[in-house]
Protein backbone atom coordinates (compact mmCIF):
# COMPACT_ATOMS: atom_id res chain seq x y z
CA UNK A 1 0.00 0.00 0.00
CA UNK A 2 1.24 3.48 -0.85
CA UNK A 3 -0.33 6.95 -0.67
CA UNK A 4 -0.76 9.01 -3.85
CA UNK A 5 -2.28 12.37 -4.70
CA UNK A 6 -4.71 11.79 -7.55
CA UNK A 7 -6.37 14.41 -9.74
CA UNK A 8 -9.92 13.60 -10.84
CA UNK A 9 -10.49 15.30 -14.22
CA UNK A 10 -13.68 15.88 -16.26
CA UNK A 11 -15.82 16.21 -13.14
CA UNK A 12 -18.45 18.98 -13.37
CA UNK A 13 -17.94 21.75 -10.79
CA UNK A 14 -21.27 21.01 -9.12
CA UNK A 15 -19.97 17.49 -8.41
CA UNK A 16 -16.62 18.55 -6.93
CA UNK A 17 -17.52 17.75 -3.32
CA UNK A 18 -15.94 15.59 -0.63
CA UNK A 19 -18.81 13.07 -0.79
CA UNK A 20 -18.52 12.63 -4.56
CA UNK A 21 -14.72 12.33 -4.34
CA UNK A 22 -15.03 9.56 -1.75
CA UNK A 23 -17.66 7.79 -3.87
CA UNK A 24 -15.42 7.91 -6.97
CA UNK A 25 -12.06 7.09 -5.35
CA UNK A 26 -13.22 4.87 -2.47
CA UNK A 27 -13.49 1.62 -4.45
CA UNK A 28 -9.80 1.88 -5.43
CA UNK A 29 -8.30 2.42 -1.98
CA UNK A 30 -8.52 4.32 1.29
CA UNK A 31 -9.39 8.00 0.81
CA UNK A 32 -7.26 9.93 3.30
CA UNK A 33 -7.90 13.52 2.25
CA UNK A 34 -9.85 15.55 -0.27
CA UNK A 35 -8.36 18.97 -1.04
CA UNK A 36 -11.36 21.27 -0.68
CA UNK A 37 -12.05 24.89 0.06
CA UNK A 38 -13.53 25.97 3.39
CA UNK A 39 -17.05 25.73 1.97
CA UNK A 40 -16.67 22.02 1.19
CA UNK A 41 -16.31 22.12 -2.58
CA UNK A 42 -13.68 22.77 -5.23
CA UNK A 43 -13.90 25.21 -8.14
CA UNK A 44 -11.00 24.06 -10.33
CA UNK A 45 -10.52 22.02 -13.47
CA UNK A 46 -9.89 18.94 -11.34
CA UNK A 47 -10.27 17.66 -7.79
CA UNK A 48 -7.31 16.50 -5.66
CA UNK A 49 -7.74 13.32 -3.59
CA UNK A 50 -5.09 11.64 -1.40
CA UNK A 51 -5.66 7.91 -1.56
CA UNK A 52 -3.74 4.88 -0.30
CA UNK A 53 -3.58 2.31 -3.08
CA UNK A 54 -2.50 -1.31 -3.32
CA UNK A 55 0.48 -0.87 -5.64
CA UNK A 56 0.54 -4.58 -6.50
CA UNK A 57 -2.65 -3.96 -8.51
CA UNK A 58 -2.88 -2.02 -11.80
CA UNK A 59 -3.66 1.68 -11.37
CA UNK A 60 -7.01 2.79 -12.72
CA UNK A 61 -6.99 5.39 -15.50
CA UNK A 62 -10.50 6.54 -14.60
CA UNK A 63 -14.05 5.32 -14.27
CA UNK A 64 -17.59 5.83 -15.47
CA UNK A 65 -19.88 7.74 -13.14
CA UNK A 66 -23.53 8.74 -13.11
CA UNK A 67 -23.77 12.50 -13.65
CA UNK A 68 -27.46 12.87 -12.87
CA UNK A 69 -30.56 11.17 -14.19
CA UNK A 70 -29.67 8.58 -16.80
CA UNK A 71 -26.59 10.45 -18.04
CA UNK A 72 -23.21 8.83 -17.42
CA UNK A 73 -19.75 10.24 -17.99
CA UNK A 74 -16.10 9.32 -17.66
CA UNK A 75 -13.63 10.88 -15.22
CA UNK A 76 -9.87 10.58 -15.73
CA UNK A 77 -7.35 9.95 -12.95
CA UNK A 78 -3.91 11.61 -13.06
CA UNK A 79 -1.40 10.46 -10.43
CA UNK A 80 1.01 13.06 -8.98
CA UNK A 81 4.71 12.27 -9.30
CA UNK A 82 4.13 8.97 -11.00
CA UNK A 83 6.45 8.39 -13.93
CA UNK A 84 4.79 7.13 -17.06
CA UNK A 85 6.50 4.15 -18.56
CA UNK A 86 6.69 4.25 -22.34
CA UNK A 87 7.46 1.08 -24.24
CA UNK A 88 8.76 1.12 -27.78
Q: Quick: pLDDT tens for 2-44.
A: 999 999 999 988 899 999 999 999 999 999 999 987 777 787 8
- Residue pair 80/35 in contact by the 8 Å Cβ criterion: no
Tell me the CA end-to-end span of the chain in Å, nearest whole number.
29
The radius of gyration computed from the CA coordinates of the chain, to the nearest angstrom, equals 13
Q: What CATH number does the domain located at 2-79 have?
A: 3.30.70
Q: How does residue 83 score in pLDDT terms, banded at 50, 70 and 90?
A: low
Kindly state the greatest CA–CA separation across the chain: 46
- Residue pair 75/8 in contact by the 8 Å Cβ criterion: yes
C-alpha–C-alpha distance, residues 53 and 36, integer Å: 21
Q: Give the domain ranges of the chain.
A: 2-79
Amino acid sequence: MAPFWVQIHELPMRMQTREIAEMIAGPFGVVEKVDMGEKGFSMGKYLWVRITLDITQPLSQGRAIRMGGLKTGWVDFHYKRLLRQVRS
